[in-house]
Chain A
Amino acid sequence: MSDQEKSLEVQKEEVALEEGAEWARDRRVFLPRSDIYETSDHIMAVVDIPGAREEDIHVTLEKNVLTINAYVEADHMEGYSLAYAEYEVGDYQRSFRLPDEIDRDKIEATYRDGVLRLRLPKAEGAKMRKIAIHTD
């Protein structure tokens, strides 16, 4: 699949806020880079949230909207000064509207090496059924 040939990128993309609104936390908020793919019985969401601790990741599914929130601790180091900086540390937030009904009880989430993987099984009724067409 050509999609997988995508090269590694260094820039983080910030979440755009509506005019006049501000973040409650005094941090920048980034859009985590994500892959979403679908098979016949489940949807997979793979999200890069480096620096987040497992307990600071919050995933919710409301109706068909999957929301991922991850808080990242400030990187300030006592006794050190930041001599050279290429990336900024901040929280992550992103929402996706899923194309199908999800069986909420069977969602599996794993987190390893800064990558969150969500396996969202499709609800029985939403699985694709092939409809045979009869001719007279």
Chain B
Amino acid sequence: MFVRRYRTPTVWREMERLQREMNRLYDAFSPRRYRTAPGYPAMNVWMAEDKLVVTSEVPGVAPKDIDVSVVNDTLTLSGERAPDAVEAGAQYHRSERGSGKFSRSLQLPYGVDANKVEATFKNGLLRIILPRKEEDKPRKIKVKS
């Protein structure tokens, strides 16, 4: 008896795999679109009408070694990640964690009140809350009839 085997041809399977891979890639870039940070550290900016929250992952940097400064609508993050104090004679198997000084500026979507900026640092995550400048807030204009 002749038994017919229903097997997807390899090419099709390969196409399917490609399609899945493409979908995964699209998922990765939407709805959020990620850009490559031009320098360290990478930052995310969350925006509400009257407040911005900037977050950044800076593991291993002591809070005292991070400098946050704001001038008008420009935020500057600078600091230093110190290299580990390693015992003499230690042999490295793997060294991926960088160290050194960093400094980066980011233009914010609107001007912020530098006096009211707050920053917290927890578990290697820096979070900066920047309230919008009073004079920069949008004004509602009433339409008269």
Range class of the A interface residue count: 35 or more
Assuming the contacts A8-B81, A49-B59, A50-B57, asked whether A86 and B91 have C-beta atoms less than 8 A apart, the reply is: no
Which one, A8, A75, A85, contacts B100 given CB within 8 A? A8
Contact A83 B46, beta carbon cutoff 8 Å: yes
Selected interface stretch from B2-10, B30-38, B112-120, B136-144:
B30-38
CB-CB < 8 A to B98: which residues of A? 6-9, 33
How many residues in B have their beta carbons less than 8 Å from beta carbons of A? 54
Contact A51 B46, beta carbon cutoff 8 Å: no
* Complexed CA–CA distance, A40 and B108 (Å): 50
B40 within 8 A of A: yes
B135 within 8 A of A: no
Which B10-48 residues have a C-beta within 8 angstroms of A?
17, 28, 32-37, 39-48
Give A contacts to B, CB under 8 Å: 1, 3-11, 19, 28, 33-40, 44, 46, 48-54, 75, 77, 79-88, 99, 113-115
